[in-house]
Structure 1
Amino acid sequence: MTVSGFLSEITIRKKPGHSSKGLLTFGDQTVPCALGRNGMGPIKQEGNGVTPIMTTRMLYGFYRPDREKRPLSAVPFHPMHEDMGWCDEAEHRCYNQLVSLPFDASHETMWRDDPLYDLVIVLDINIAPRAKRRGSAIFMHVAREGFMPTEGCIALQKSDLRRLLGWMSPATRIHIAR
């Protein structure tokens, strides 16, 4: 279903027989995706490797300008910089937020040698309000070869992610269901 030319929703389900692999359906298309190393679950805690079962939305994204063009999407995208990180230290005041590197607490480096964050979308999971230990850096991003598990993110083949972004807006709902 679309609203003003954009998808109103997408659905992510576990691929039968594979706890850390999923199927993402948008419109009449279904594409493979990677899920958390411990599959899907109702409770996300820092470091548990679970993709949370919930309904969420995309807030904004980043792209590596040395590797990618700005995606054609109604979702706001910003160029990534080498000094970008994401705090994953649950007790830190910047927990689950973008930070500038160098950074004194535990963090995820956004500017990676591999292509995982060449395109990355920040999902509205534990953003507002933030709760300690309820998960950080839960993104939609580029998948590893063979759709290897994530730490709780949703990862797609780069070409599928780019195509999906053209159909999504900040109003698109993402249903993560068993």
Structure 2
Amino acid sequence: MNKMANGGTLRLIDVRARPGNPAQGFLILHNLVLRCALGKGGISAFKREGDGATPLGSMRLIYGWRRRRRDFAASSLPFRTIRRDDGWCDAPGDRNYNRLVRLPYRASHENLWRQDGLYDICIVMDWNIRPRRRGCGSAIFFHLARPGYQPTEGCIALKRADMARLLPHLSAQTIIRVRR
């Protein structure tokens, strides 16, 4: 933990690609090292919509969704229960690009109520949120991993047990720093 200028605490979490497999990585918080899934396009300093890459850089955790309130321990991050009509716009030309939308939605979007459970816990990271730049990547989340840590579309994903272990320690001051 580091001290911030305003007296609060800052938790810095490093994420690094796994040698020999750029779509998998390690999430490192102090002496805790957890395996994670990364984007199928590896890590990119030039993130573009649809490239499947996890963006290189530092991203603050903003807020998240839970499928059911009782599934995971409390966190100081703001959470709400995900709804069946929650979506996330990924159409660069749309006015709601890289924002939460209500379904059905006319432009290209991702349905956040997933049958595979990957978004039972889903945290929005501040990639391309303010300012938003068209085509520079959307829906960069911190969520649950598929079996075998299969690649994401650019997100960072942990197995359920590791997310449950980490969640109580996450806050709006947490920054995830993705490095090569």
TM-score (norm 2): 0.93
State the 1:71 CA deviation. Answer: 3.9
- The reply to whether residue 35 of structure 1 matches residue 38 of structure 2 is yes
State the 1:69 CA deviation. Answer: 3.3
Q: Which of 10, 14, 24 lines up with 1:11 in the alignment?
A: 14
Cα contact 1:72–1:165 (8 A) shared by 2: yes
User: 4+ residue runs of structure 1 moved beyond 4 angstroms?
Assistant: 2-7
SS of match in other structure, 1:131: coil
* Partner amino acid, structure 1, of 2:44: G
Cα contact 1:12–1:23 (8 A) shared by 2: yes
- The reply to whether residue 148 of structure 1 matches residue 131 of structure 2 is no
How far apart in 2 are the matches of 1:65 and 1:7?
28
TM-score (norm 1): 0.94
Cα contact 1:23–1:31 (8 A) shared by 2: yes
The residue aligned with 1:46 is 49
* Partner amino acid, structure 1, of 2:149: F
- The reply to whether residue 95 of structure 1 matches residue 97 of structure 2 is yes
SS of match in other structure, 1:12: strand
Q: RMSD in angstroms over aligned alpha carbons?
A: 1.7
SS of match in other structure, 2:15: strand
- The reply to whether residue 159 of structure 1 matches residue 158 of structure 2 is no
For each residue in 1:124-149, what CA deviation from the matched residue of structure 2 results, as whole angstroms up to 9, or x when unmatched? 00000000000010000000010000
How far apart in 2 are the matches of 1:7 and 1:128?
20
Cα contact 2:37–2:149 (8 A) shared by 1: yes
For each residue in 1:103-138, what CA deviation from the matched residue of structure 2 results, as whole angstroms up to 9, or x when unmatched? 011000000111100000000000000000000100
Structure 1: gaps spanning 5 or more residues: none
Structure 2: gaps spanning 5 or more residues: none
How far apart in 2 are the matches of 1:49 and 1:140?
14
The residue aligned with 2:23 is 20
For each residue in 1:66-123, what CA deviation from the matched residue of structure 2 results, as whole angstroms up to 9, or x when unmatched? 8x53641111111101100000000000000000001011000000111100000000
State the 1:7 CA deviation. Answer: 5.8
How far apart in 1 are the matches of 2:71 and 2:117?
14
Identical amino acids, percent of aligned pairs: 46
